[in-house]
Chains A and B, each alone.
Chain A
Amino acid sequence: MLSYSLKRLLQAIPTMLIVITIAFFLMRVAPGGPFDGERALPPEIEANLNAAYHLDEPLPQQYLRYLGNLLQGDFGPSFKYKDFTVTELILQGFPVSLEIGGLAILLALVIGLPLGIAAALRRNSAIDYAVMGTALAGIAVPNFVVAPLLALVFGVLLGWLPAGGWNGGALPNLVLPVLALSIQQIAYIARMMRASMIEVLGSHYIRTARAKGLSERLVVWRHAIRPALMPVVSYLGPAVAGIITGSVVIEQIFGIPGIGRYFVQGALNRDYTLVMGTVVFYGALIVLLNLVVDLIYSALDPQIRYDD
């Protein structure tokens, strides 16, 4: 398994290289530059800045320089947040996004899985219709609608929770953003788990388990749930990556200092190094999480073994 993981990480190198290359040149194709402001800078100052950041070099040379720095773990300085390196910005924002996103996924699993299982076990009943109807609404309503509504109701009207702000990650400040992030995930996971459970419950080995005289509880717990989890697990890889790298919308609405906003602000400001930094970070995270998913897969299913 160790050598398999190593192999997978080696295979990720070309993937990452492609991602970096495309992102690098795409950014440069976009019109404008990092030092364009409302007032144009005097030409000599701009030339100095460009020279300081090596932006006056030919593009291929800049590209190779970037790759070289990256290999040494250096993401470069941010153009916009002038006193910070990109690494510092990511290290500052990521823990916040990770906390919110991690909690949201956890909540989604804790609520979504049981809902999906319950709906599957009482298929076509009132519970099933209620769960599936609510889930559909949860998927249909985008989080930029849900988040302000939550803030409005619980923050402003009822005044139970702060409507925004981070406050060093205090619990009351976490509740609404986590909830807003998780609603769509709860809905997805519930629907996926229901469909997967229904399929498993119709399988031949469940019929065998019933023919053994096992109680329905044992049939479900011992024989049905684990195989039914497989599709959910494979969904979780990209989902977790997407969520813990920060939701721009949620972070913006609740004023949370996560990593998501750097991505958007970086792109808008043509902060080349910041955008590249977040892209590389995001890419690496996806590769890593997909590997984790595959390892969990093999732990769940003995038919999947990574020998080499």
Chain B
Amino acid sequence: MQEPLLEVDGLSVDFALPHGTVPAVKQVSFAIASGETLALVGESGSGKSVSSTAAIGLLPDLARTRGAIRFAGEDLLAATPRRLRRLRGNDISMIFQEPMTSLNPLHRIGRQIAEVLERHRGLKGDPARQRVLDLLDQVGIPEPARRIDSFPHELSGGQRQRVMIAMALACEPKLLIADEPTTALDVTVQAQILTLLQDLQRRYGMAILFITHDLGIVRHFADRVCVMRQGEVVETAETTALFAAPKHAYTRMLIDAEPHGRKPPVPADAPLLLEARDLRVRFPLKKRLFRPGSDFEAVRGIDLRVRRGQTVGIVGESGSGKSTLGRALLRLLDSRGDIRFDDTALAGLDSAGMRPLRSRMQVVFQDPFGSLSPRLTVGEIVGEGLRVHAPELGRRERDARVQEALNDVALDPAMRHRYPHEFSGGQRQRIAIARALVLKPEFLLLDEPTSALDRSVQATVIDLLRDLQHQYDLTYLFISHDLAVVRALADTVLVMKAGEVVEQGATETLFRAPREAYTRELMRAAFLEDTAA
């Protein structure tokens, strides 16, 4: 390796919290050369973001750092704040995970980019504006002359991330730190952003420190990989070598945690459990005085059949209407069209009419942090449905059912007296599943149940869902933007776009030979084919 541009040497970061010091990063070392891409990989809490934030001196005041971070030979930990400000945005730039909130909502994007030029290049007025237009063009913003005066909220997530990139590249930095820059974006947008970053890297010869939890991106994007776990580096290697022969057990586990396996099919004559015909959901848009309000149709005439024991996967990008469809099927939203569950027509039922059916159709949501009430114990959360649907049960019997459900999701029933905040994300998702299972449902709507979880945790939840389906003959409607997970779990797949079904079919057929152009584009993006060309 040539002379390193950035060298992190024995870096330790502790957070001095009121109740004691918490180590976040322990003795971490890595180096990047000019023009190279190093991926810093790890699951949440591994210290990857803390390490990179330390490099530009933006850690919170509570942080205590030791070791050295050398940038072109200069120790950044010893540098004055003034010197660091000189480097930031100039020689070292950073883009972040949250494109929706990383731009100041009150300033026009052109001004936000020009600010960097003014700060580091002294560029103002027309020359600055010209350079901003140039940059917007380079990062692929259509009609830069019109967009330069837009406010952030007028742009999509992908466009905002492009603006962030333009801002980061304004002074042609030597090092770009990209902290999960595509995690919040749809897969097709992610693929575009990654391609853009690669192009720009080639043009400017900058080094990229790429922080991610997504091994798919690493494989196609990075020259070398540094795997972190619990604040320590466990393995550093060339990308190809790492994937071919991971040395550390943790790295192997991460690679194995990519979803695998296939769902065994159900008999072709399995009875229909859920059927929808020409399902439509409309949301009224803002009403205007003296004018009729208009509607937005989020689900546009969808037909769907789910057989008992099947898993039907619904995939699509944000705004495609997949969650709306799921909620409409359970009558959590008003809709038009026919829905039959088993032998009951749901269409005309009000909430009282739905109640007896609710225990048979349950739902698990994406957010394991927001969807459990923080004021109730786990036992109360799991048992609450029983109070409604099986009021005849006594306290003891209810408790027995709660323990059984927790056992089913591989949680220690003794933990039922604790509160949700004492559990990790994966455990909380198990609690959410137990809450659904305790009612012994036949049908589960799983709305992105694994999307907020780390890959390794995700794998265990997927295994759990598989086991439960087998054990209790459950039928799943599985909504996800993650094609790999859907492929591992579903019998049939529906691809949605703009409220309509683009394509549907048996999972393997659809993944092997997608017919529609949109499906192909989605798969290419999801599995990052062609992006590393």
Binding site for B on A (CB under 8 A): 7, 203-205, 207-215, 222-223, 226-227, 300-303, 308
Question: Quick check: A227 and B106 within 8 Å, CB to CB?
Answer: yes
Chain B contacts for A302, CB-based, 8 A: 105-106, 151, 153
Known: A208-B104, A209-B104, A211-B56. A303 touches B87 (CB 8 A): no
Question: Quick check: A208 and B102 within 8 Å, CB to CB?
Answer: yes
Interface residues of A: mostly helix, strand, loop or mixed? helix
Question: Quick check: A213 and B116 within 8 Å, CB to CB?
Answer: yes
Chain B contacts for A208, CB-based, 8 A: 96, 102-104, 164, 167
**CA–CA, A215 and B84, complex, Å:** 10
Residue of chain A at shortest CB distance from B104: A205
Question: Quick check: A210 and B88 within 8 Å, CB to CB?
Answer: yes
Chain B 66-94: CB-based contact to A (< 8 A → 1; otherwise 0): 00000000000000000011111110011
A115 CB → nearest B CB, Å: 21
Chain A contacts for B396, CB-based, 8 A: none
Known: A227-B105, A301-B105, A302-B153. A211 touches B289 (CB 8 A): no
Q: B384 at the A/B interface (Cβ < 8 Å)?
A: no
Question: Quick check: A210 and B106 within 8 Å, CB to CB?
Answer: no
Question: Quick check: B105 and A213 within 8 Å, CB to CB?
Answer: no
Additional A-B contacts beyond A213-B120, A301-B105 (11; CB < 8 A): A204-B98, A204-B101, A205-B101, A205-B103, A205-B105, A208-B164, A211-B93, A213-B88, A214-B85, A227-B105, A303-B153
**CA–CA, A145 and B425, complex, Å:** 52
Residue of chain A at shortest CB distance from B100: A204
B370 CB → nearest A CB, Å: 19
Chain A contacts for B167, CB-based, 8 A: 208, 212
- Provide 30 A-B residue pairs closer than 8 Å at the C-beta atoms, listed in order of the A residue: A204-B96, A204-B101, A205-B101, A207-B58, A207-B102, A208-B102, A208-B103, A208-B104, A208-B164, A208-B167, A209-B104, A210-B58, A211-B88, A211-B89, A212-B89, A212-B119, A212-B167, A213-B84, A213-B86, A213-B87, A213-B119, A214-B85, A222-B107, A222-B115, A223-B107, A226-B106, A227-B105, A302-B105, A302-B106, A303-B105
Residue of chain B at shortest CB distance from A10: B289
Chain B contacts for A210, CB-based, 8 A: 58, 88
A206 CB → nearest B CB, Å: 8
**CA–CA, A212 and B102, complex, Å:** 12
Q: B288 at the A/B interface (Cβ < 8 Å)?
A: yes
Known: A223-B104, A302-B153. A212 touches B98 (CB 8 A): no
Chain A contacts for B104, CB-based, 8 A: 205, 208-209, 223, 227
Residue of chain B at shortest CB distance from A300: B106
Chain B contacts for A227, CB-based, 8 A: 104-106
**CA–CA, A15 and B159, complex, Å:** 43
Chain B contacts for A211, CB-based, 8 A: 56, 58, 88-89, 93-94
Residue of chain A at shortest CB distance from B168: A211
A110 CB → nearest B CB, Å: 23
**CA–CA, A227 and B289, complex, Å:** 30
**CA–CA, A205 and B98, complex, Å:** 10
A139 CB → nearest B CB, Å: 26
A130 CB → nearest B CB, Å: 20
Question: Quick check: A214 and B106 within 8 Å, CB to CB?
Answer: no
Question: Quick check: B58 and A301 within 8 Å, CB to CB?
Answer: no
Chain A contacts for B86, CB-based, 8 A: 213
Residue of chain B at shortest CB distance from A123: B61
Residue in B84, B105, B106, B115 whose CB lies within 8 Å of A212: B115
Chain B 114-135: CB-based contact to A (< 8 A → 1; otherwise 0): 0110011000000000000000
Residue of chain B at shortest CB distance from A124: B61
Residue of chain B at shortest CB distance from A11: B289
B138 CB → nearest A CB, Å: 18
